Chains A and B, each alone.
Chain A
Amino acid sequence: EVQLVESGGGLVQPGGSLRLSCAASGFTFNDYYMDWVRQAPGKGLEWVGRSGIKANRYTTEYAASVKGRFTISRDDSYNSLYLQMNSLKTEDTAVYYCTRGVGNWGQGTQVTVSS
């Protein structure tokens, strides 16, 4: 069974940083593209970005709203995906979901950016 478990969310001040983690199990992690998706309170879904696989040199893609501030990485030896979020803004407040190629989803982790 595919399992994705996010962690690392919390309350952070504007301008601060936070690193989210996603622990994956139940599948061959290094074979799959992995994505982060977020949902602001009462709003729709927003794709944040994607990590490629070793075969494409772990190429990453990002939404314009986070490019230059967020960095996606992965560690295939630990079956883990990461989202480093810097220069956080209040509009980054959302539940952040880890997904296996926008197919399977984790339960999400809450990130709140507020002073």
Chain B
Amino acid sequence: DIQMTQSPSSLSASVGDRVTITCRASQGITNDLGWYQQKPGKAPKRLIYAASSLESGVPSRFSGSGSGTEFTLTISSLQPEDFATYYCLQFHTYPFTFGPGTKVDIK
């Protein structure tokens, strides 16, 4: 199985900060990666698909990059509604696997 790791596991940031989350795959997955945001008690919401494509309706402050084994999610200017947990998911090979998550909270 492909193992996904994320760093950091948590971070504290202020409104307006630039935030970067990294996801690494144990083997190459081309660009078969998505990024998800989950708020407490809610279903996850996909922000990015195919590593760098922004879902319709998602603010442009979110961006994704990378291919192969290393990927990043960047929030260019953190907003109050962005405090949440973020997960990456590889859908290159079965079984699909999620990263363990990165919790973004308020400094």
The interface of chain A, by Cβ under 8 A from chain B, is 35, 37, 44-47, 50, 61-64, 97, 102-108
Stretch at the interface among B15-23, B41-49, B75-83: B41-49
Q: Is the CB of B96 within 8 A of A105?
A: no
- B97 partner, pick from A47, A50, A105, beta carbons under 8 A: A47
- A61 partner, pick from B1, B45, B55, B95, beta carbons under 8 A: B95
Q: Is the CB of B36 within 8 A of A45?
A: yes
CA distance A44 to B94 in the complex (A): 18
Q: Is the CB of A108 within 8 A of B89?
A: no
Q: Is the CB of A47 within 8 A of B96?
A: yes
CA distance A112 to B4 in the complex (A): 27
4 closest residue pairs by CB, A with B: A47-B96, A105-B43, A61-B94, A45-B98
